[in-house]
Amino acid sequence: MNDAPQPAGREALAPSTTESLVAKDTKSQHATATDGEPRLLLNRELGQLEFNRRVLAQAQDHAMPLLERLRFLCIAGSNIDEFFEIRVAGLKAQIQLGANRPGPDGKAPLEVLQEVSRQVHELITQQYAVFNDDIVPALAQEGIVFLRRREWTKAQRDWIHAYFLNDVMPVLSPIGLDPAHPFPRLLNKSLNFAVELAGKDAFGRKSGVAIVQAPRVLPRLIMLPPEISGCPHGFVFLSSIMHAHVDALFAGMEVKGCYQFRVTRNSDLFVDEEEIKNLRTALQGELPQRNFGDAVRLEVADLCPPHMSDFLLQQFDLAQDDLYQVTGPVNLVRLMQVPDQVPRPDLKFKAFVAGVPTQLTKRPDMFAAIRKSDILLHHPFQSFKPVISFIEQAANDPNVVAIRQTVYRTGTDSELMAHLITAARNGKAVTVVVELLARFDEEANINWASKLEEVGAHVVYGVVGHKTHAKMAMVVRREDGRLTRYVHLGTGNYHSRTATLYTDFGLFTCNPEITADVNDTFLQLTGLGQAGDHTHLWQSPFTLHPKLLAAIAREADEARAGRPASITAKMNALLEPEIIQALYDASRAGVKIRLIVRGVCALRPGIPGLSENIEVRSIIGRFLEHTRIFHFRSIDAVYLSSADWMDRNFFRRIEVCFPVLDPKLKRRVINEGLKIYLDDNSQAWAMDADGNYRRLQPGTGKRRSAQMELLAELSTRPVADR
């Protein structure tokens, strides 16, 4: 992806005639101590909202293809959903337990929750403004229309009426509220309707309110035939169909109002790992309850009157600040299907074919190719298929005796897992470390664990209290009378779909020292014993944190001695206080530190006397930036890792950080993973000391987009522009 002995310096972020900083319209997050000195850390939840503003900005960007703008709008909505399910739920839980102690940023949970509520209300208002005032009219001009109920033609009304009778009404079960029918338990994020009624039913019962749940089997967006819709792609919302026909569910009664709503619930699972005897059994019992956790947010349509929204808030034990009244469908995430249903490639990112390294095109035998030299893959610009081929060839190779692999996220339909099953059936010694507590992938991982066990594979669930987040696969092969190990190490999951959407590095090697380290790590995961010293790998929760602190301190010592020193690192999040303090100390020593942090960053860059030598930028583009790269100049060391610089990655997860030893591949990582991103002036956002971000603009200079340049360089079908 890039090449440069030293990434661009601080001037790369300075406003100039060729590159100007355009301020983003966000409120400043001044977090100051009582003595007037700035706090050293920024708040995690507010930083996460800042990240979502950068995602929403992609939907606001008219240079983006139109359907991709809609997709980014949906991603922003999905991010907010998860933010409430996990982060807001956590804040509420702290407050309920009486935890009022300020966090590292100086803010108490209640103070954070109040600020979160204010900012999210603003963010959702912006989100719906983009949808209603910008994207919807632009889509209509392209023949992609969301048909409004008040504008339906007779032909459309007739078609929709028939659809309601045949496909919707048979699966609805309205519930009139009375002493025998209390307010129902509603699934997390499900679409529901509160219906106001007048009159009595067939049994003489009088109920002022009924609840209609929209079953999840029903699509939330229905495409009409072009001859009916009058446009190439006409859609109608299920909510519109319900509003138009809800009276059919309450014969003889008067429907005074129908209001769509959605409740978001705490979705974090709790499993007492110290008490349980079988993690998988305990988790299987807990999963069904995820959809019925404590409510944390209520969304209602803008036409919902106050007395009805108050009634709903009361049912869910929520406060007024937890109410989000929106001008449109209560779940914009459901619009994610539109880009997939509309065959308009001119309104989407241009297609590309992921490249394959020349070593593998010349030598389809993976083991022969790896023996020749280490192989580096850069996804999604380069294909994930070699990783699948690695396991597939191992599964069918009579010389392979064992396969070991970690699984964090792999998907419900995984070709790679199918090859592991084949390997077990072929008599290989297959050991798979399955992380059952990978959030929102628990069910898929349980299912794969069961299938693997059925064919005789050895399945273990890692270490209680520590999620197994390391990405490792090892093949043991008999060659010339001895056993040789081959490994794949990565920064991303063994998931074929996300490998086309996330940027990640993967390394194949048969270096005996690295493979020995990997073997020792697998032994830790599957057996019992003390952690030994690795030759090359840094591992959480044992050595990664102290090794990083030592590496940062080494750069600081070099700078104090007047020798060249710098740190360039790329990750998804930076939160761990000791690492941040070490970076501050290194900055004061004169170390130039360039950080590319996609999401939350608690470090405050650019503060005189503290962090003036630190720059932080975030890249938001077509692909989700997911690589973790650490470059220390004084020893010219480049490491790739599965770990971000967060407390959980250092102390509560099993992670590996591995060096890139081959000089050519090391240069590739620096060039493709760091330098090109530091040169980006169109998808990059620069962070200031208050946690605000400004998007870089090329001005009169050349437009640089790291992801687009990597597509052109590494894919087999270059893409000229997005």
Which residues are identified as catalytic? 469
Contact 520, 442 (CB under 8 A): no
Rounded-to-integer distance, Cα 716 and Cα 21, Å = 34
Q: Report d(CA 266, CA 293) in Å as an integer.
A: 5
Both structure tokens of 220: 């939330």
Residues 6+ apart with CB under 8 A from 266: 85, 89, 92, 93, 293, 294, 295, 296
SS3 content of the chain, % helix, strand, coil (to 5): 40, 25, 35
Contact in structure between 140 and 232 (CB atoms under 8 Å):
no
Residue type, 316: F
**Residue 210 C-alpha from the chain's centroid:** 37
Pull the structure tokens for residue 642.
Answer: 């599965």
Interacting residues of 47 by C-beta distance below 8 A, sequence separation 6+: 599, 600, 601, 602, 691
Question: For residues 19 and 701, is the Cβ–Cβ distance under 8 A?
Answer: yes
Q: Which of 1, 159, 715, 640 is nearest to 384 (CA)?
A: 715
**Would strands 472-479 and 684-687 be described as parallel, antiparallel, or unpaired?**
unpaired
Name residue, tokens 């050991």.
Answer: 431
For residues 449 and 441, give the distance between their C-alpha atoms in angstroms, rounded to a whole number. 12
User: How far apart, in whole angstroms, are the C-alpha atoms of residue 668 and residue 660?
Assistant: 10
What are the angstrom distances between the C-alpha of 17 and each of 23, 229, 405, 617, 697? 16, 50, 51, 20, 11
Is the dihedral angle over the CA atoms 668, 673, 677, 678 positive or is it negative? Answer: negative
The answer for residues whose C-beta is within 8 angstroms of residue 129's C-beta and 6 or more apart is none
Element (H, E) at 264: strand 254-265
How many Å apart are CA 327 and CA 125, to the nearest integer?
8
